[in-house]
Structures are given as C-alpha cells and as structure tokens.
C-alpha cells in the first residue's frame, strides 16, 4: 500500500465564544498520495473551507494532526510558518489574489523574491512555466489589464514557481465562465499528469470530475468518497452527481465518517 503524502488524522476544529461553541470539523481522516489529484466537495458551512485553511497553515486545528511528507504542521515554529507556506505549498484562489500594482511577471516571481532565489533560477523557472501555461504575452501586463481566465493562469504560475510539494486550490473556477473554467480544469489535469499533487476544494461537480478521487464533507465529517478509476470525465461527473443526490436525501444518516440509509444495521 502506498503511503499517503498528505495525512490528516482525527482533525477537529472548534470555534468558541462566550455564548456558545461551533464545531466546524468533528473527526476528519483521509490521505492524499504523492501525485494524486483529490477534490473535496461540500455545501456552504460543511467545513471544507476550514479544512483547507488548516491544511494551508492559515488556521490551527483544535485537535488532530496534519502531516505533509511526514512533517507535522502543528510542530512548525511560529517564525517558520511563512517560509514553510511559501516553499512547500502552492495556492490557487477563486479571486486570484494578485497585486494590481505589480506586473504579472512580478506577481509570479514574488514568492521566489521573498525566498531570495537567484535571478537566473527565477527566470529559468518562469520561462518554463510561462510556456506551459501559454502566458508569455501576458508577463509585462498588469492583472487589471487581463481577463479572469488569464488572471487565473498567472495565479497558477505563481503557485507552481516555488515547485511546491502540494497545490491547494480553493474554488479555482468559481468566478469563471463555463468555457474558461473548462480550460483551467484542463490545466489542472495537465499539472497533475506532470507529477503535481493537487487538493482542490469545490462545490462544482464539473470541477470535481477533473480529479481522480472526490471526498464529500458534511457537518465537519468526511462521510463518503468516490474514485474515478478508468471512467471518463462525463461518466465520473454523473457518478459524482448521483452520489450528491443520494447523500442529500432526508433518509440518509451520517455516522462516524460514513453514510447509510436510516433503518440499516
């Protein structure tokens, strides 16, 4: 059995206030193998954004562990978090998070500049990534001068430039039209085919169907998963939609990370 590259063990997140407490994550367990493309699906409030924030080191778990390549994220010292995040993780956001006062090239190279990478290395990486993403003609422009799909390509280039251990994507096609979204999803599949490990949070069945495996989260629990296997995107899309329809039925109960029909033993 191949060992997981990303391991999530008994993860819990509780938000407390004087009046009450909210359990965002109850007992989340899953693994992602190196080179795997995994999607996490869930409705608003299901816990998927909280989970991604913990994996991204933007937030800390109340209990449990997250290990990336056997390194426990909870053991990273406070003054090392920023460099760990920059060097090990690549981020792709729904709203791109590009700096309008920087050219697209400077946006892409910013993580390497902060890491004090040699200029020769920076430009070698940039040339390769720009060619892969077809953004050579966009590098000297600014984010406000390009389309949403082009901006997402720039954001993907920024995520790839540090050669991270895993790409974390938060609704990467959420603000794009269907045609542009399809192009971006195709890029994600190509990235995965070249060896990138990707974990994507999405509410879109079409986006999830580009992954190899889909985890479903509800009420802070991973309760179901489906594997692509040899299925086409269309067949996998239908299977994901069927799974969503099943788990959203009132007759479905949730227990300890699985789902079952009420009345079953």
Model pLDDT for residues 190-227, shown as the tens digit of each residue: 999 999 999 999 989 999 999 999 999 988 999 899 99
Query: pTM of the prediction?
Result: 0.89
E-assigned strands of the chain? 6-16, 21-32, 37-41, 63-68, 71-72, 89-93, 166-170, 198-202, 213-218, 221-227, 252-255, 258-261
In 3D, which of 24, 111, 2, 10 has the Cα closest to residue 67? 10
Segment 121-156, tens digit of pLDDT:
999 999 999 999 999 999 999 999 999 999 999 999
Give the position of tokens 């978090």: 81
Residues whose CB is less than 8 angstroms from the CB of residue 30 and which lie 6 or more positions away in sequence, other chains included: 8, 215, 222, 225
Phi, psi of 88 (to 5 degrees): -105, -25
Residue-range domain boundaries for the chain: 6-261
Q: Which fold has domain 6-261?
A: Rossmann fold (3.40.50)
Q: How confident is the model at residue 258 (pLDDT cuts 50, 70, 90)?
A: very low
In 3D, which of 259, 260, 214, 220 has the Cα closest to residue 240? 214
The answer to whether residues 155 and 93 touch, using CB atoms and an 8 Å cutoff, is yes
Q: Is the pLDDT of residue 3 over 50?
A: yes
């Amino acid at each position: 059995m191949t060992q997981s590259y990303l391991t999530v063990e008994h993860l819990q997140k509780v938000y407390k206030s004087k009046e009450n407490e909210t359990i965002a994550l109850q007992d989340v367990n899953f693994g992602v193998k190196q080179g795997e493309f995994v999607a996490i699906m869930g409705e608003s409030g299901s816990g998927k954004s909280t989970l991604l924030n913990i994996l991204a080191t933007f937030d800390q778990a109340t209990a449990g562990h997250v290990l990336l390549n056997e390194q426990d994220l909870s053991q990273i010292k406070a003054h090392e978090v920023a460099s760990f995040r920059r060097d090990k993780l690549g981020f792709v956001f729904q709203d791109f998070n590009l700096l309008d006062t920087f050219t697209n090239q400077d946006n892409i190279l910013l993580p390497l500049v902060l890491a004090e990478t040699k200029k020769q290395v920076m430009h070698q990486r940039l040339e390769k990534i720009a060619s892969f993403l077809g953004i050579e003609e966009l590098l000297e422009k600014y984010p406000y001068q390009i389309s949403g799909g082009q901006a997402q390509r720039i954001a993907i280039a920024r995520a790839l430039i540090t050669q991270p251990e895993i790409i974390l994507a938060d609704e990467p096609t959420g603000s794009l039209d269907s045609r542009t979204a399809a192009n971006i999803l195709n890029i994600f599949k190509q990235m995965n085919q070249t060896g990138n490990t990707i974990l994507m949070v999405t509410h879109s069945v079409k986006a999830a169907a580009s992954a190899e495996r889909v985890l479903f989260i509800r009420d802070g629990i991973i309760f179901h998963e489906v594997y692509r296997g040899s299925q086409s995107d269309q067949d996998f899309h239908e299977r994901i939609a069927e799974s969503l329809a099943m788990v959203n039925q009132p007759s479905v109960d949730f227990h300890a990370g699985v789902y079952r029909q009420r009345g079953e033993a």
